[in-house]
């Protein structure tokens, strides 16, 4: 029996989640999209939209129950929900760390805990987790985000080993910089300010981060690649979608000594450290 191609997409109101949902819809999938900004069930541009806050257990459960009423077969779940807080390790608050981890990492865990019993009963299913280049390497002043993406990388390895016997495939998407994101889901640590001992380096780094994203890759291309990946009989465990220089940075990080990597990345992000250096205020949105 041939089942309909139904995919759930989290974090689908903006950024890479939105572009991925749109491209999946164009590829013929029934797309059930969730985001905090969606207030009620509605269909827009061929995408079924449901409220979803991945940090709230009841919201996740309600989304899954309603999605299963719409289509009892779940071919795939694509998890894109995420937030970004820019700040130094020292001046990013514990609450800010918690907010990033609750959304980017634990939000995926909550969704998987709901969908895995369904996919096991089906005898198949596909789970796509959006990590990042920052899941493979760190950069200055993006530490909470980087930590959450490293957590996703390790979690996904165990998830695949546990679920493969049930016919469930897991894939990590590792995007580089893309022209996407919303200021609602990115921000600066409240503790950062002009008197911070990190102010000059922070201003330089955030300006570079902002530049790289605004000049990044086309998010629709990424969405189409995810759609094609879901059509494969056997998905790869990792799929890095990035520019050539970002692929090179990952390879260098893997093979060069740690001090060399530190020197290369610091020189790229921290151009100067004079008091008149960068201006605190530039920002960047990753996926979502």
Within a domain: 286: no
What range does the domain containing 224 cover? 6-269
Within a domain: 274: no
CB atoms within 10 A of CB 27: 17
Q: Which of 94, 105, 196, 191 is nearest to 145 (CA)?
A: 105
Within a domain: 282: no
Tokens of 246: 């970002």
β-pair partners for 10? 34, 79
CB atoms within 10 A of CB 144: 24
**CA Rg value for the chain:** 19
Within a domain: 40: yes
3-state secondary structure of 44: strand
Question: Based on the structure, what is the number of domains in the chain?
Answer: 1
- DSSP letter for each residue of 256-268: S-HHHHHHHHHHH
Q: Which of 124, 114, 108 is nearest to 158 (CA)?
A: 108
Within a domain: 152: yes
Within a domain: 134: yes
Per the residue annotation, which of 97, 145, 198, 269 is the catalytic one?
145
Within a domain: 241: yes
The whole-angstrom separation of Cα 6 and Cα 16 is 19
Within a domain: 250: yes
The whole-angstrom separation of Cα 262 and Cα 96 is 25
pLDDT per residue, tens digit, the chain (288 aa), is 578 899 999 999 999 999 999 999 999 999 999 999 999 999 998 999 999 999 999 999 999 999 999 999 999 999 999 999 999 999 999 999 999 999 999 999 999 999 999 999 999 999 999 999 999 999 999 999 999 999 999 999 999 999 999 999 999 999 999 987 655 656 899 999 999 999 999 999 999 999 998 898 999 999 999 999 999 999 999 999 999 999 999 999 999 999 999 999 999 999 765 443 344 444 333 444
Q: Is 269 a catalytic residue?
A: no
3-state secondary structure of 30: strand
**pTM of this prediction?**
0.91
141 phi-psi bin (left φ>0, alpha ψ -120 to 50, beta other): left
The whole-angstrom separation of Cα 219 and Cα 197 is 36
- Sheet (strand 30-35) strand order: 42-44, 47-51, 30-35, 6-10, 76-79, 125-130, 168-175, 238-241
CATH number of the domain bearing residue 14: 3.40.50.720
């Amino acid at each position: 029996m041939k089942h309909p191609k139904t995919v759930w997409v989290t974090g689908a109101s903006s950024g890479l989640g939105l572009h991925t949902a749109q491209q999946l819809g164009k590829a013929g999938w029934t797309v059930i999209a969730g985001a905090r900004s969606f207030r009620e069930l509605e269909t827009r541009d061929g995408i079924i939209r449901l409220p979803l806050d991945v940090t709230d257990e009841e919201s996740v459960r309600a989304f899954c129950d309603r999605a299963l009423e719409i289509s009892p077969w779940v071919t795939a779940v694509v998890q894109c929900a995420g937030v970004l807080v820019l700040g130094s390790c020292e001046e990013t608050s514990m609450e800010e760390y918690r907010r990033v981890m609750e959304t980017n990492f634990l939000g995926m865990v909550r969704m998987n805990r709901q969908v895995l019993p369904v996919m096991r009963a089906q005898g198949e299913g596909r789970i796509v987790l959006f990590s990042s280049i920052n899941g493979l390497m760190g950069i200055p002043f993006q530490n909470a985000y980087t930590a959450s993406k490293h957590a996703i990388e390790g979690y996904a390895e165990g998830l695949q080993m546990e679920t493969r016997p049930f016919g469930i495939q897991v894939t990590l998407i590792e995007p580089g910089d893309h022209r996407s994101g919303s200021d609602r889901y990115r921000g600066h640590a409240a503790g950062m300010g002009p008197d911070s001992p990190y102010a000059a380096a922070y201003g330089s780094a955030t300006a570079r981060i902002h530049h790289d994203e605004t000049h990044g890759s086309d998010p629709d291309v990424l969405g189409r690649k995810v759609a094609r990946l879901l059509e494969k009989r056997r998905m790869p465990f990792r799929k890095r979608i990035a520019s050539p220089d970002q692929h090179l940075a990952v390879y260098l990080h893997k093979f060069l000594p740690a001090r060399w990597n530190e020197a290369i990345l610091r020189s790229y992000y921290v151009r100067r450290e004079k008091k008149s250096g960068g201006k605190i205020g530039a920002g960047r949105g990753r996926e979502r």
